[in-house]
């Protein structure tokens, strides 16, 4: 991907929207809490912790990748990422796990934790990661470049980004990626929650709740395969 | 098992569930009270009035062992799979989890592709169940938002405590005991929950040793059977509150919480009061506003008195009392929380109450079939007295049809109906708005040979199978 390209950011935003549309990822919980309390405010209030939990799940994986990137050259980090994505996808394809021990009366902290766990268990962060790796100057690349042996092929390839951005850009880039993704997520989550609560009603679940987990599993696997081919050093 | 759309039998709210199409099949467990010779079976009954085989057994699967005493059973998945905190709506409602209450064996029975040809796909042997859960004598099965929950009457040795264990809804692996802190709870029988309040409720019968050889009059007259109700934090799996109904109220059995998750109340049946042999229905309700904290209270809302009787008409156990107790052994609440149905297994009466105002139930219907003294015949054979009485009751999702069978529990059947119960199943009809009970004269299914029917489950779900996370 070329420097300054809008595409990775747009992709992050759209992935956020895609995560948001999944009923199991938050909006349905907001609707249920609103219905339980017969309160529109309860819908809106629950969106905050649900969104925060999702953002934390995404941010955590990006931070983890950045940390791993300190010791593994950026050219190699895509292999473990691809492996994790394909494994997660295959697992979700054959085994439909759902959280245990949840409940309706979890409170704000509980909702945040729930959203964090749901996103993490679905591999939401890992789905985003290849895009983040592809953005020039993101923490993963920056730190990887820092750690790469001078004169190595990868270091040479990454030098451009590193020199252009500087190490101090790592944190803001990671945060921006998380925020853009979360914005897409929040917009769709809020829209779906309000639409279903105010207009459509939960009867729509019977018709419209297609098995997004299947698509999700497919998306994880495809992203994993693509990841194997991105970031090839260009000579 | 992976579906593209949610299972069509899952409904987000009870109100939507009342629009479900009428059931075409009922699944009924049939047990052999002799515990030898012939194994128990799961029978499939045709309940489609337009079918030629209406009110007949059209399929059956026998258990692999003898002497299980099949009793209660339930689905692997139901409407609670739509709950927002543990959503997995693309699992099929397909398998029946059928415990043997005497053998402690669990059977997983596949009802698809042809509901008339159910097949046993997995058997969990008693040793495994006891080793993995610490319990025995499995009883109530409920499909929960995150697991299948199954109650058990006691420990492997036949003593207390009884409790609940969990099972995966797809692999049917046992996931161990549910309680993390059981507080003072020891006796167990039924359980269900208020999903909107993260509250689970359990009731009390007796330990296996207290019940398996029959009703023990000494234990009964010393108030040794259960008389408490327990409230638990469903999420934290901890005991929160016990309510004592008074020790004269012996055997707190079936629990029927309101289906609407915002309604924090429900009904329970007490089998017998040792003061006057009456039976009663109690309403539990929650004090305070929203949230999972809040005290639960209880109030007796219905009392059904014993009926005077000639000692010559009574079994040994009851001769001295010169009365026949109603014995409320099962109750059921319609999916819209409008009507409560009550089985009086002793007197042979079946009642319907309008519980729109749960604190003030109004009697809207009553029919008699069987009974210890009256032995009221079915309209199909008006001259043939029948025994047993209204017992395990199930109500269709639309609230129009009611089915019940007449046997209680092998060793207890013999004490109250010593001549030996001849098994039957009947169907009643009601108007879901006005109420009233009408016996379908065409539906009188007498079981073959020695087998006795117990719980009924309706294809696609019924009033005591599904729980909901979204209000109507």
Q: Quick one: pLDDT band at residue B35, thresholds 50, 70, 90?
A: confident
Name the residue facing B12 among A101, A104, A203 (closest C-beta): A203
CB of A106 within 8 Å of any CB in chain B? yes
In whole angstroms, give the CA distance from residue A26 to residue A3.
34
Is the pLDDT score of B416 beyond 70?
yes
Mean pLDDT of B31-50: 95
Among chain A residues, the shortest Cα distance to B168 is held by A97
Strand partners, B43: B28, B60
CB of A159 within 8 Å of any CB in chain B? no
Among chain B residues, the shortest Cα distance to A210 is held by B5
- Collapsing DSSP to helix, strand or coil, A158 comes out as helix
**Farthest CA pair distance, chain A:** 64
Q: What domains lie within chain B, and their CATH numbers? A: 14-458 (2.130.10.10)
How far A35 CA lies from chain B's nearest CA (Å)?
Answer: 7
In whole angstroms, give the CA distance from residue A178 to residue A188.
16
- Here the ipTM equals 0.92
CB of B21 within 8 Å of any CB in chain A? no
**Farthest CA pair distance, chain B:** 63
The pLDDT of residue A93 is 78
How far B319 CA lies from chain A's nearest CA (Å)?
Answer: 51
Output B400 or B36, whichever has higher pLDDT.
Answer: B400
Q: How many CB pairs under 8 A join A and B?
A: 104
- Collapsing DSSP to helix, strand or coil, A92 comes out as helix
**Closest by alpha carbon to B389, among B358, B364, B422, B361?**
B422
Name the residue facing B86 among A98, A105, A206 (closest C-beta): A98
Name the residue facing B195 among A31, A38, A104 (closest C-beta): A104
The pLDDT of residue A66 is 80
Q: Quick one: pLDDT band at residue A1, thresholds 50, 70, 90?
A: very low
Mean pLDDT of B249-259: 98
Task: Please enumerate in sequence order all residues whose Cβ is within 8 A of that of B97, keeping only pairs 6 or more positions apart, or say none.
Answer: B73, B74, B75, B76, B106, B107, B108, B141, B148, B150, B167, B172
Q: Do A98 and B88 touch (CB under 8 A)?
A: yes
Is the pLDDT score of B56 beyond 80?
yes
Quick: pLDDT tens for B361-391: 999 999 999 999 999 999 999 999 999 999 9
Among chain B residues, the shortest Cα distance to A207 is held by B5
The pLDDT of residue A230 is 65
Quick: pLDDT tens for B290-338: 545 679 999 999 999 999 999 999 999 999 999 999 999 999 999 999 9
The tokens of B117 are what? 């040809």
Looking at every residue in chain A, the average pLDDT score rounds to: 81
Mean pLDDT of B451-457: 97
The pLDDT of residue B293 is 62
Q: Quick one: pLDDT band at residue A229, thresholds 50, 70, 90?
A: confident
Mean pLDDT of A55-66: 91
Quick: pLDDT tens for A125-166: 988 888 887 776 555 555 544 544 444 444 434 433 322 333
Mean pLDDT of B431-438: 97
In whole angstroms, give the CA distance from residue A103 to residue A72.
40
Contact between A148 and A73 (Cβ < 8 Å): yes
Q: Do B87 and A24 touch (CB under 8 A)?
A: yes
pTM for this one? 0.93
Is the pLDDT score of A122 beyond 80?
yes
Contacts of B3 in chain A (CB under 8 A): 211
Percent of chain A with pLDDT over 70: 77
The pLDDT of residue A133 is 77
Q: In what order do the strands lie in the sheet with B238-244?
A: B191-194, B199-202, B228-233, B238-244
Among chain A residues, the shortest Cα distance to B194 is held by A104
Looking at every residue in chain B, the average pLDDT score rounds to: 96
Mean pLDDT of A191-203: 96
The pLDDT of residue B274 is 97
Quick: pLDDT tens for B140-182: 999 999 999 999 999 999 999 999 999 999 999 999 999 999 9
The pLDDT of residue A231 is 54
The pLDDT of residue A150 is 43
Contacts of A24 in chain B (CB under 8 A): 84, 87
Quick: pLDDT tens for B172-216: 999 999 999 999 999 999 999 999 999 999 999 999 999 999 999
The pLDDT of residue A167 is 47
């Amino acid at each position: 991907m070329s420097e300054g390209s809008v595409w990775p950011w747009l992709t992050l935003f759209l992935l956020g929207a895609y995560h948001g549309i999944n009923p199991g990822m938050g909006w349905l919980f907001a609707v249920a809490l609103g219905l339980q309390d017969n309160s529109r405010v309860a819908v809106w209030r629950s969106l905050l912790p649900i969104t925060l939990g999702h953002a934390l799940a995404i941010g955590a994986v990006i931070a983890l990748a950045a940390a791993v990137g300190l010791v593994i050259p950026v050219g190699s980090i895509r292999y473990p990422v691809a492996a994790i994505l394909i494994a997660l996808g295959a697992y979700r394809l054959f085994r439909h796990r759902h959280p245990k021990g949840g409940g309706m009366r979890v409170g704000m902290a509980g909702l945040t934790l729930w959203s964090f766990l749901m996103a993490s268990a679905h591999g939401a962060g890992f789905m985003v990661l290849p895009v983040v790796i592809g953005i020039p100057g993101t923490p993963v690349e920056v730190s990887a470049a820092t750690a790469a042996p001078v004169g190595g092929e990868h270091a040479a390839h990454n030098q451009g980004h590193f020199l252009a951005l500087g190490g101090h850009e790592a944190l803001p880039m990671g945060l921006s990626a998380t925020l853009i993704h979360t914005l897409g997520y929040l917009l769709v989550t809020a829209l779906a929650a309000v639409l279903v609560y105010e207009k459509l009603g939960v009867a729509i679940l019977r018709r419209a709740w297609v098995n997004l987990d299947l698509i999700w599993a497919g998306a994880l696997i495809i992203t994993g395969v693509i990841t194997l081919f991105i970031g090839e050093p260009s000579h | 098992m992976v579906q593209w759309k949610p299972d069509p039998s899952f409904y987000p709210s009870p109100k939507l569930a009342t629009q479900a199409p009428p059931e075409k099949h009922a699944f009924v467990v049939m047990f052999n009270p002799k515990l030898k010779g012939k194994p128990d079976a799961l029978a499939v009954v045709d309940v489609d009035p337009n079918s030629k085989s209406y009110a007949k057994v059209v399929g059956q699967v026998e258990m692999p062992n003898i002497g299980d005493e099949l009793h209660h059973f339930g689905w692997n998945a139901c409407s609670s799979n739509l709950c927002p905190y543990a959503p997995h709506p693309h699992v099929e409602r397909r398998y029946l989890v059928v415990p043997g209450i005497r053998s402690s064996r669990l059977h997983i029975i596949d009802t698809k592709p042809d509901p008339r040809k159910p097949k046993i796909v997995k058997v969990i042997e008693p040793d495994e169940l006891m080793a993995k859960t610490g319990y025995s004598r499995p009883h109530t099965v409920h499909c929960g938002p995150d697991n299948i929950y199954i109650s058990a009457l006691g420990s492997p040795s036949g003593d207390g405590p009884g409790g609940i264990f969990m099972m995966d809804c797809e692999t049917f692996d046992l996931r161990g005991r549910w309680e993390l802190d059981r507080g003072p709870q020891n006796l167990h029988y039924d359980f269900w929950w208020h999903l909107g309040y993260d509250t689970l409720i359990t009731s009390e019968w007796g330990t296996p040793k207290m019940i398996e050889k029959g009703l023990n009059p000494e234990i009964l007259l010393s108030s040794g059977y259960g008389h408490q109700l327990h409230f638990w934090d469903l999420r934290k799996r901890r005991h929160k509150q016990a309510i004592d109904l008074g020790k004269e109220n012996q055997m707190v059995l079936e629990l029927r919480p309101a289906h609407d998750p915002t309604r924090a109340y429900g009904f329970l049946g007490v089998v017998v009061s040792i003061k006057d042999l009456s039976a009663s229905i109690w309403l539990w309700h929650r004090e305070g506003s929203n949230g999972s904290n809040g005290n639960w209270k209880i109030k007796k809302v219905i009392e059904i008195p014993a009926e005077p009787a000639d000692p010559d008409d009574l079994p040994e156990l009851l001769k001295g009392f010169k009365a026949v107790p109603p014995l409320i052994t099962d109750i059921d609440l319609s999916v819209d929380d409008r009507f409560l149905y009550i089985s009086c297994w002793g007197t042979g009466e079946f009642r319907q109450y309008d519980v729109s105002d749960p604190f003030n139930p109004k009697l809207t219907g009553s029919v008699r079939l069987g009974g210890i003294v009256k032995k009221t015949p079915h309209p199909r054979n008006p001259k043939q007295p029948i025994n047993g009485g209204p017992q395990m009751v199930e109500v269709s999702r639309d609230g129009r049809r009611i089915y019940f069978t007449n046997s209680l529990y092998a060793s207890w059947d013999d004490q109250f109906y010593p001549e030996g119960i001849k098994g039957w199943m009947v169907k009643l009809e009601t108007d879901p708005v006005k109420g009233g009970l009408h016996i379908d004269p065409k539906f009188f299914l007498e079981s073959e040979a020695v087998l006795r029917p117990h719980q009924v489950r309706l294809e696609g779900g019924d009033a005591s199978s599904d729980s909901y996370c979204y209000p109507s």
